Amino acid sequence: MRVRSKQVLKPIAAPAEVPTVRIERLVTESESHTVALDFHPRLTVIGGLDAHDRSRFAEEIVGALEGYRSGVHLELLSDRGVRSAVFRPARGRHRVVEIDSRSDVTEAFADEAERIDLLARCGLNRTDAAAAMCRSSADLLAVTDHDRLVQGLANVNQSELWVAGEALSASQRRLEAIANASAEGSSDNEAAEVIEDQHEELEALRSKATGFFKGTAAVTGVALIGSLVALFIDQLIVIPPLFVMAVAMFARSALLRRAVQSRAREESDALAEFGAQSYLGFHIQRVNGLFDSEQTRRSLMSAAEAHRDAFARWTAIAGDTELAWALRHRSEIDAAARVRRDVFGPDVPTDSPDSMKVIRLAHSTVRHLSELRRVGASGESLPTLFDEVFDGIEAEVLAPLLELLVRSSEQQQIILLTNSAAVMDWARVEALTGALSVLEPNGAAPGTVDPSGGTSAGTTSGATSGATTNEPGASPGVLS
């Protein structure tokens, strides 16, 4: 398989984006023939394949992205509209070409061994990519505890659920606010005890100082009278002791005065921190606080009762699910509820086991597609391969599930592999709208379409695009 000589390729080394978003064409070469499969950029339904062939087809798609063998070529379309062709000839250098600009961007994609591994550029190996890209009905119906909680909340009245959640959240905030205010009141009580202790110490010191001041005055009077008498009777030797005693008493009085003033300043500072200007004002505030404390207690009891009622209401609707968990996963719960409405409608009961199975399948489908939109290490997306995921689904809910795939394919490419006549009948009609394409063997038995080159491929039927078979040397599309 060679590029036409008239195509002039301009080598560039600038990094290019990883073109692994949508597959436009898959071409496989063998010695006898070339098979080309054209894919719809959104949804491609491939029918007439049994379980073995569906498994081989999925492996072939993943292997083509990895580049596990030569002779498998791809045309790719990125989210930015860049169309690229990946050439892996049996002989010769593997290359990547930007189709519109005809630029050779191989150097931006090839590894040290000159392999073009698009999965590796997304940070994935073949095993991890296959596990992420390929899903069967059993895979989607595998339910985790997380899924049960989400689906359980999605199955109740959403308006009642979130009104009850908001009421419980509001009651929690009010209860916490009153509790915090009560805690602040406890801190005020501790401060009040400190002020009371300081005031008692100050009053005791003042009482002691007052008694000492009276004693100092008496001793000073006695010393003065004694000095006069001693001077009168000419006993001057008595005067110095009396003078020293009077000075000592005055010094002690001064120290006590300073101690009283210091304690008074400490009490004043403590009163200021409490918000009172005086000790009398402090007591007035405490009397007022007694009324406030009673009001706080009543408010706390009222808030606790309201919280109990809100919690009971939430539990009646949401069961044992914690409100905080539900709020963290609200977007997922809302999405699951929308899926339920889309599939069954707003008023249809969904309590039966069959209905719950369909809901789980729809929710898991949407969740898987969402995860695959950012599966790469740098957020790259990959196509999704669904292998008979709607097996055993009743006809009345099959169409809504398939329409769910059509809507989801607006954001990423989906390839649905099936052997279901009901799915194929729906797909042939839906293909007329252009929202999807259908690939099916040309009326042959299942297993005719084999991208690995083992058998020939058929043409498409109805208003569909599909597979073509060419003799060796012929080259479909750009890949030539």
Q: Does residue 253 contact residue 219 with C-beta atoms inside 8 Å?
A: no
pLDDT score for 378? 63
Report the candidate in 42, 38, 37, 45 with the shortest Cα–Cα distance to residue 398: 45
Q: What are the domain boundaries of the chain?
A: 10-143+354-470, 161-318
Name the least confident of 118-122, 183-187, 189-193, 417-421. 183-187
High-pLDDT (> 90) share of the chain, %: 15
User: Three-state secondary structure along 71-93?
Assistant: CEEEEEECCCCCEEEEECCCCCC
pLDDT score for 337? 82
pLDDT score for 9? 40
Rounded to an integer, the average pLDDT of 191-220 is 76
Q: Containing H/E element for 140?
A: helix 137-141
pLDDT score for 445? 36
Q: What is the mean pLDDT of the chain?
A: 76
Residues 6+ apart with CB under 8 A from 429: none
pTM: 0.60
Q: What is the pLDDT of residues 335-375, one digit of tens each?
A: 778 777 777 666 555 566 667 777 777 877 887 887 777 77
Q: What is the pLDDT of residues 121-158, one digit of tens each?
A: 788 888 888 888 888 888 877 767 787 788 788 888 88
CATH class in words for 10-143+354-470: alpha beta
Backbone torsion region of residue 468, taken as left when φ is above 0, otherwise alpha when ψ lies between -120 and 50, otherwise beta: beta
Residues 6+ apart with CB under 8 A from 352: none
* Residue 336: how many other CB atoms lie within 10 Å: 24
Q: What is the pLDDT of residues 16-35, one digit of tens each?
A: 444 456 899 999 887 778 88
Of residues 268 and 173, more confidence is placed in: 173
Q: In Å, how far are 149, 152, 334, 364 from 320, measured between CA atoms?
A: 10, 11, 19, 23
